[in-house]
Amino acid sequence: MQNTPASTTPKVKLNKAPGKNPNKKSRKWKSLKYSYPLLLMFFPVFVYYLVFRYIPLIGAFIISIKKYQPALGLIGSKWVGFEYFQQFLNSVFFWRLIRNTLAINFFQLLLGFTAPIILALLLNELGSSKFKRLVQSVTYLPNFISSVVVVGIVVVFLSPTTGLVNSVISRLGMEKVNFLTEPSYFWLIYTFMVIWQTTGYNAIIYLASLTGISPELYEASNIDGAGRWKQLWHITLPGISPTIVILLLIRLGNLLEVGYESIILLYNPSVYSTADVISTYVYRRGILNGDYSFASAVGFFQSVIALILIIAANKLAKKYTDTSLW
Partner 1 sequence: MKTIKEKKSRILFQCINYTILIVCMIVALYPVLYVLAASLSSYAFLAQGKVGIIPMGFNLEAYKRVLAYPMIGRSYMNTIFYTASGTLISLLMSILGAYPLSRRYFPGKNFLTKLVVIAMLFSAGMIPTFLVVRELGMYNTVWAILLPTAVSSFNLIILKTFFEQIPYEMEESAALDGCNHLQTLFIIILPLAIPGLVTVGLFYAVYQWNSYFPAMIYLRDRELVPIQIVLRDIVIQNQTTDLAVDLVNGADQVSESIKYATIMVATIPIMLVYPFVQKYFIKGVMIGSVKG
Find the binder of partner 1 among 131, 183, 214, 270 (CB under 8 A): 131
CB atoms within 10 A of CB 223: 8
| 257 is an interface residue for partner 1 by CB under 8 A | yes
Of 26 and 161, CB closest to partner 1? 161
| 218 is an interface residue for partner 1 by CB under 8 A | no
| 144 is an interface residue for partner 1 by CB under 8 A | yes
Distance CA 107, CA 190 (A): 9
Instruction: Give the x/- contact pattern for partner 1 in 285-324, rule: CB under 8 A.
Output: -xx----x--xx--xx-xx--xx--x--------------
Find the binder of partner 1 among 93, 103, 109, 152 (CB under 8 A): 152
Q: Give the nearest distance from C-beta 49 to partner 1 in angstroms.
A: 6
Of 21 and 90, CB closest to partner 1? 21
Residues 84-123 that bind partner 1 (CB under 8 A): 119, 122-123
Distance CA 87, CA 84 (A): 5
| 135 is an interface residue for partner 1 by CB under 8 A | yes
Q: Give the nearest distance from C-beta 187 to partner 1 in angstroms.
A: 19
How far is C-alpha 195 from the geometric centre of its chain's CA atoms?
14
Find the binder of partner 1 among 56, 81, 183, 238 (CB under 8 A): 56
Distance CA 206, CA 243 (A): 7
Find the binder of partner 1 among 59, 67, 103, 272 (CB under 8 A): 59
Q: Give the nearest distance from C-beta 196 to partner 1 in angstroms.
A: 7
Write out the DSSP string of 235-294. IIHHHHHHHHHHHHHHHHHTTTTTTHHHHHHH--GGGHHHH--HHHHHIIIIIIT--HHH
Of 1 and 92, CB closest to partner 1? 1
| Residue 222 Cα distances to 50, 212, 216, 217, 228, angstroms | 54, 19, 10, 9, 9
The span of 76-84, 86-94, 98-106, 142-150 binding partner 1 (CB under 8 A) equals 142-150
The residues with which 78 forms a beta bridge, in sequence order, are 67
Whether residue 231 contacts residue 144, with contact meaning beta carbons closer than 8 Å, is answered with no
CB atoms within 10 A of CB 248: 15
Find the binder of partner 1 among 138, 237, 308, 316 (CB under 8 A): 138
| 137 is an interface residue for partner 1 by CB under 8 A | yes
Of 108 and 198, CB closest to partner 1? 198
| Residue 189 Cα distances to 95, 97, 107, 195, 280, angstroms | 22, 18, 11, 10, 17
The span of 18-26, 78-86, 92-100, 105-113 binding partner 1 (CB under 8 A) equals 18-26
Of 215 and 225, CB closest to partner 1? 225
| 236 is an interface residue for partner 1 by CB under 8 A | no
Of 89 and 141, CB closest to partner 1? 141
| Residue 285 Cα distances to 24, 29, 198, angstroms | 64, 54, 29
| 6 is an interface residue for partner 1 by CB under 8 A | yes
The residues with which 67 forms a beta bridge, in sequence order, are 78
Residues 175-204 that bind partner 1 (CB under 8 A): 196, 199-201, 204
- In whole angstroms, how large is the CA radius of gyration of the chain? 26
